[in-house]
Structure 1
Amino acid sequence: MMEAKQAAPDRLSSLPAELQDEILIRLDLRDAVRTSALSRTWRDLWKSLSVISLSFPFGTHPSVVDSVLLRYIGPRVSLFRICVDDACADRIDDWLIALSRYRVESIDMCGTLRSLGNFNLYSSIFSLGDLVSLLLKNCRIPPLPVGFPGFPALQKLVLAYVIFPSNGFKQLEAIIRRSPLLHTLHMFDVFIPGEYPDSVIEAPNLRVLSIYSPYDYRWRFGELSCLEYANIHVFHCPQHEHDFGVFLARFAHVQKAVDVKMPYTLPFTFYNLKKLQLCVDFNEIHSILSMFTMLRSCHNLQNLKIEVRSNSGRCGSNIGSLE
């Protein structure tokens, strides 16, 4: 009688635990879960990975997110990305509380409500002290809790179409000031109701700054000696040229500037500015004079790009580039 063949060895199961972990953390969530079917020892291995990235596609049912956060028993979530629709808007607070236990490093939340309104964010967002990157779009920012310690590890902050509470400029100032490692700040159409006090936004390590705003919030920044790139687009500039000149003076160390509005005279020079992109309305004398004002203050410019602003306010055809 022939001896029964021995079962082939399970090579996946024989891999060192560290190697198994290294393989799975490189997969997205869906593929990591599917590996449970590959081997007996790989069954549900994703639940205890050393780090996991959670990126949920648009339309994901809230119960799926609940299940993943409940079943994962590992120590760290590197990314939590989700489109917030009507079905999951009420679950955000619970998810943020759960993520605070996993030392989440990156949050990316974008509102997609049918009502086209902004979803309500909760104060639990301010308890995520391990955040390195925070992107919020189409949401209402809650008031800062008493004793807010800040984001000691935050390096990148993106706020797009968000609404701050009344007199929220002080809150924005506090968030940025208490993020000492912040080097990238993007603010697009941020709405801050109430008064705009003469406060100063302190971000000494900032290297990249973008502001796109239809409102004049009297933006004032402290010294930005590390700044390398600035994109400032404010539709309604301050009425007094001196005020805006003081504002621009904070960017004297910048190395690249894009679409910056300015007055006709500047009391300083952009010595480090090497690359400049301007959008000019050649039907407006103010726009033309502003262009020459900027060029006179850029003695070491190496690359210049000028685009024509159309009647709709958009930048279209490119006149050309000089290097």
Structure 2
Amino acid sequence: MSAEVDRISLLPLEIKIAILSRLRIKHAVRTSALARSWRHIWTHLPCLDLSSDQDPLGNPRNDHTDTDTVPSSWIQRVHRLASSLRGPLSFFQLFFSEPHDDQSLLQSLLDLLLQKGGLETLNLYFHNDPGKIHLPLFLSLRVLRLFGCHVALRIGFRGFLRLETLELYGVKISNDDLNLLLRTSKNLTSLEISNCGALENPLSVNLSLPFLRHLEFENEGFFENLSVVSSPCLEHAVIRLIDADCSSQNLARMVLRLVTSVAMVSSLKLDFDVLKCLSLVTLPFNFTIPRLKFLRFSFDVDTVDNTMAKRVYDAFLWLLRSMSILEELEIELDSIEYHDQADRLAILLKELPVERHDGFACLERTVTSVTINMSSLDVTDSIAWIQFFLLNAKGLKLLKIGYFHGGDMPSFIEELQKVEVTSYDAKVIFFNRFTHQITNLCMND
């Protein structure tokens, strides 16, 4: 290509690097063949995004047969690639899906990233546990995401002082190391912990993070305690229990401590197992969530009997009573797939007659929008919730019924026309979440 035509090669180095940063590393490396001015420009890249299903330089992985040596060989090539980069790496992401036995190669790679300096984002995803890795002390780190690995902190660990986002998924870590990591990450604004396992004793954490705004917690039974001691900036909380023993009094007490400790949030999302746990303990009478404006929770009829349904309903009323300025509420209903489930739900609804309730500040004044989502449009598994809010929410303006699969909409509408409505401004819409089709229904015509 002539100099008159090759204007791209005349671009400043920082612009060339910005262009290559948008390419896969294998394509960026190949630009060395374009012209002399492009040779080795890729070695100035500030980011690496790599996956073990592809050779870091673009060679397909399916030509190998020795599955015991391929993963280690791949890590070695990643190490050589990272060593070839001349400047610091600000972003490093690694997806590793194959098993391997020698974690020293991975540890050596992490230590190399430390030597280069400047790392701000580190994302490590493993589908097979690579063995214990020690997190180097990256002084510039702002984002850390770990999935499916065994993590330890080195002696003398002083913390990631600039860390703002921490996400731990399926991570094995000792209770001492987890507490040290959180205690020294004072600038955290977002924390997500999901299915993290204790190495010895169950995990116990009391959070005191002055700038934390978002907390997401999923527990499969490895935590004996998690509560927020002091996080005045916390705005959003998500609490889920996955396959947990919801009959455990210890778990129920932990859930109550956690829910009551996030009372400063403006947005709260809970799964049905949280409500089940709350139904097992004595709930404080004067508890309030004074700033909450959005609440989402799920309901699963297949996991409750009549007695528990009543307790869960009482726990829901307790939550609702604690919210003085709630504006928007969203309910996820698990689909009713079998006739015996539908029959059992009909019995449950008879056990829980919908009544007019007084003393709910949010229903009296602030709740204007309610969304009820279900898989299939079926009046059986939603009519009780619809009746409750149309009867009690005096300022309700919009009730949205979301669904993926169609049902007998005329029968659904016929049942809705029988429901007593308190708000004269209430409008009901059916929203197909797949086609985005909207059907309007005015309840006061």
Question: TM > 0.5 between the two?
Answer: yes
Secondary structure of the 1:104 match is: coil
Q: Which has the higher contact order (CA 8 A, sep 6+)?
A: 1
User: Quick one: distance in 2 between partners of 1:201 and 1:82?
Assistant: 30
Structure 2 counterpart of 1:265, from 283, 292, 307? 283
Residue 303 of structure 1 pairs with residue 328 of structure 2 = yes
- 2:190 aligned with 1:184, yes or no? yes
Q: CA deviation at 1:191?
A: 1.0
Q: Of 30, 47, 52, which residue of structure 1 is paired with 2:47? A: 52
Change in Cα spacing, 1:280 to 1:31, as seen in structure 2 (3 Å) is same
Q: Which residue of 2 aligns with 1:279?
A: 298
Aligned residue for 2:227, secondary structure, equals coil
CA distance in 2, matches of 1:306, 1:264: 24
Q: 2:77 aligns with which of 47, 55, 64?
A: 64
1:264-308 Cα deviation digits (max 9, x unpaired):
524321111111111134542332221111111111111111223
The answer to whether 1:140 aligns with 2:150 is: yes
Identify the residue that residue 161 of structure 2 maps to in structure 1: 152
Equivalent in the alignment of 2:235: 228
| Contact 2:110–2:136, Cα closer than 8 Å, also in 1 | no
Mapping for residues 45-124 of structure 1, pairs under 5 Å = 45-49=41-45, 51-60=46-55, 61-87=74-100, 90=103, 91-102=105-116, 103-113=118-128, 118-123=129-134
In the aligned structure 2, how far is the partner of 1:198 from the partner of 1:70?
Answer: 39
C-alpha deviation, 1:309, in angstroms: 4.9
SS in 1 for 2:9: coil
TM-aligned CA deviation for residue 13 of structure 1:
3.0
| Identity, % of aligned positions | 25
| Number of residue pairs matched by the alignment | 306
Mark the CA change 1:206 to 1:159 in structure 2 (over 3 Å): closer, same or farther. same
Secondary structure at the residue paired with 2:140?
coil
* Partner in structure 1 of residue 261 of structure 2: 250
Q: Quote the offset at 1:54 in angstroms.
A: 3.1
Alpha carbons 1:204, 1:222 under 8 Å: kept:
no
**1:6-17 mapped onto 2 (5 Å cutoff):** 8=4, 10-17=6-13
**Matching residue's letter, 1:146:** I
Report the Cα distance in structure 1 between the residues aligned to 2:336 and 2:175, rounded to whole angstroms.
32
Structure 1: gaps (5+ residues): 1-5
Aligned to 2:225: 218
Match of residue 32 from structure 2: 36
The 8 Å contact of residues 88 and 119 in structure 2, kept in 1 or not, is answered as no
The two structures have a TM-score, normalised by structure 2, of 0.62
Structure 2 unmatched runs, 5+: 56-73, 338-372, 376-381, 387-397, 401-445
Quote how far apart the aligned CAs of 1:83 are. Answer: 1.5
Q: Is the 8 A contact 2:204 2:224 kept in 1?
A: no
SS in 2 for 1:221: strand
Displacement after TM superposition at 1:129 (Å): 2.4
Residue-by-residue CA offset, 1:84-111 (whole Å, 9 max, x unaligned): 5225853210110111123222222222
Alpha-carbon spacing, 1:7–1:76, altered in 2? closer, same or farther (3 Å)? closer
1:227 CA displacement: 1.2
Root mean square deviation of aligned Cα = 3.0
Pairwise CA distance, 1:59: 4.8
Distance in 2 of aligned mates of 1:299 and 1:35: 60
SS in 2 for 1:293: helix
Larger helix proportion of the pair: 2
- Between the aligned partners of 1:139 and 1:7, the Cα distance in structure 2 is 51
Q: Match of 2:179?
A: 173
Paired residues of 1:257 and 1:273 also in contact (CA < 8 A): yes
Higher-Rg structure is 2
Is the Cα contact below 8 Å between 2:101 and 2:131 reproduced in 1?
A: no
Distance 2:314 2:199 in 1: 33
TM-score under structure 1 length normalisation:
0.83
| Bigger mean CA offset, 221-230 vs 58-67 | 58-67
Say which is worse superposed, 245-254 or 218-227, in terms of deviation.
245-254
1 CA distance for matches of 2:111 and 2:3? 47
Q: 1:56 to 1:251 in 2, by over 3 A?
A: same
Task: Give the equivalent residue in structure 2 for 1:3.
Answer: none
Q: Which moved more, 1:131-140 or 1:58-67?
A: 58-67
Looking at structure 1, the residues matched to 239 and 15 of structure 2 have their Cα atoms a distance apart, in angstroms, of 47
**Mean CA deviation greater in 51-60 or 28-37:** 51-60
- Contact map agreement 2:210 2:233 (CA 8 A) in 1: yes
C-alpha displacement of 1:184? 1.0
CA distance in 2 between partners of 1:197 and 1:230 (Å): 19
